[in-house]
Chains A and B, each alone.
Chain A
Amino acid sequence: MNIKDEMIYDFGLNMPRILVSGKTAIIDNIKKIVLISQTSIIVDNGNRYTAVNGDNLVVNQLGEERMQITGNINMVEFYERK
């Protein structure tokens, strides 16, 4: 990764950023929550939307534009803003 790409990655505050590991996911740059349920969580990152689908999803912590989710994560999707 060159310096330009790294800068875009670090300072892309309106872009989706998600880390998924086992039964935990951490979504950064959350501007708004669009949908929240046991099976699906959709958040607005500013320029795009991020959707996490699965079963028994629980938001462990929400604050400072960051959300920590636990549960059986089946799918992560990204949507373009029209």
Chain B
Amino acid sequence: MEMQKLNAIQAINLAIDHAMAADAKVLVLGEEVGDFEEGGILGVTKGLSTKYGSDRVRSTPISEQAIIGAAIGAALGGYKPIAEIMLMNFMTVAMDMITNHAAKLRFMSGGQTGVPIVIRTLTGTGFGNGGQHSDYLESWFAHTPGLKVVAPSNPVDAYGLMRSAIDDPDPVIFIENLASYWNTAEVSGEIVPIGQAKIVRKGADVTIIAHSLMVGHSLAAAESLTKQGIDAEVVDLRTIAPWDQEAVLASVGKTGRAIVVHEAVREHGIGAEISAVINERLFGRLKAPVQRLGGMFSAVPFAKPLESAYAPSAAAIEAAALSIAKE
């Protein structure tokens, strides 16, 4: 395809469009995904029901269990559904379908049935949406065998990971970020394999490991750190489960210092897992303890000063890097 300047909303829309054009088995369902309901609250699926018909692009009732159940059933019947759960907190309503069924049917059936579905969901702090519309819950899903979890940080990866997620034979949770939705980039249609991180900034002194919105914050911190003589490498995980151990360990093996950053609550977050593996594999080569930054141990607060303090900032990442750079 021709290079196009797109934001993440447009890139995801284009990826689904391309997949639907290529394979009549690809379906879309979710609340308000059809054009009569404006193609999603922010228009990610705009135009698809008009182009492919409302049999393949189904607006649903507000029924998260039935949405995921219908996706699982359609997958068992030979289709490749992309289910939208409008916001990540609403995934909680469908957890039985996601973790007991989508994740486990392949194993529990001894490989007779698979569930090739994509669950798209949106989240992120910064918009005053409070405690039930902003959470990052990726570690819940990463902790469940049978699920893959991806979280692109930019439109290029959003396109490429969506194409891979749709083609994947197993269920993929596709996490979209609200604050970076409108950032644009030149999208060429490159496919991004699931499970491959990307070094988005090369550096020698410290490795910052991030995904989704935190990649941008990490890059900003890295720029600022150069002024203080610290050369930071930034790894965009892109896929959270299974995460790219090889890329992360190669980078940390080189720099000897690691900071893991995520917007999700720090305690029991994926940073703990990544930090543990770094310690297990690189213990003797680390120059400083692995740092973990994450959301505060509270519900996402409403009041602006609190919400702004909730998730790691570029300044916090910079401070963490400085704290270990001298060791």
The finding on whether chains A and B are genuine partners in a shared complex, rather than unrelated, reads no
Q: Give the A-binding residues of B (Cβ under 8 A).
A: none
Q: Give the B-binding residues of A (Cβ under 8 A).
A: none
